[in-house]
Chains A and B, each alone.
Chain A
Amino acid sequence: NAGVTQTPKFRVLKTGQSMTLLCAQDMNHEYMYWYRQDPGMGLRLIHYSVGEGTTAKGEVPDGYNVSRLKKQNFLLGLESAAPSQTSVYFCASSYSVLGGPKPYTQYFGPGTRLTVL
């Protein structure tokens, strides 16, 4: 099991460029999340998905779009990158078993470090 993987690991963009970050999980999890992490801010939820074909906004969705066409993949898009989007992006996935001991435990990918110049 690879767990949660993210590509790319690093990326440098110029203001106004677009890009897509890919997250893949092989644990058959229903729920997937995109977070950004900035110094002193902790982890902030950008968008999330509760199942294939569904997406929803998190705390800081502006400037980002997502898609979940396949259960195992969750894509994060930046249409027109801005310097304020310089951050480390983490993808996570989770599941829940009714009555289970670890509901919604989140498994994180290794992160993507994005710099927007």
Chain B
Amino acid sequence: QQPVQSPQAVILREGEDAVINCSSSKALYSVHWYRQKHGEAPVFLMILLKGGEQKGHEKISASFNEKKQQSSLYLTASQLSYSGTYFCGTPVESFGNEKLTFGTGTRLTIIP
């Protein structure tokens, strides 16, 4: 079942912070985060594993709450280059990670 992302879209001024949430109705063993810039392919940002540590990529970090079946992506002091659509992906099957189902995305726009 497709994870639910919120918000659907957010507009920030450069330097502001944002949080993107991803929640699932079933138990999660991992959450994958991807970013897609306009007209380009999705690019892997990070993966959070059950029992693993919070991850970071540039000034982007994420957390994974297994009990609540959700993950949050934190963008700190946003830069113009952070603009794009962020997708979370969760395994279709409990133990096999080879198939992911993706949320519908959160469009992030950074303005100067």
Contacts and interface: CB of A to CB of B under 8 A. Distances in A.
Interface residues of B, number: 23
Given A43-B42, A43-B87, A105 B47 contact: yes
Nearest to B40: A110
A48 to B, nearest CB: 6
Contacts of B101: 45, 59
Contact of B44 (A33, A50, A106, A110): A106
The A interface is mostly helix, strand or loop, or mixed, namely: loop
B41 A42 contact: no
B98 A94 contact: yes
Contacts of A108: 41-43
A66 to B, nearest CB: 14
**Interface hub of B89, B97, B99 (most chain A Cβ within 10 A):** B99
A43 B41 CA distance: 11
Contacts of B43: 108
B1 to A, nearest CB: 10
A42 B47 contact: no
Nearest to B5: A42
A83 B105 CA distance: 24
B23 interface: no
B70 interface: no
B39 to A, nearest CB: 9
B61 interface: no
B30 interface: yes
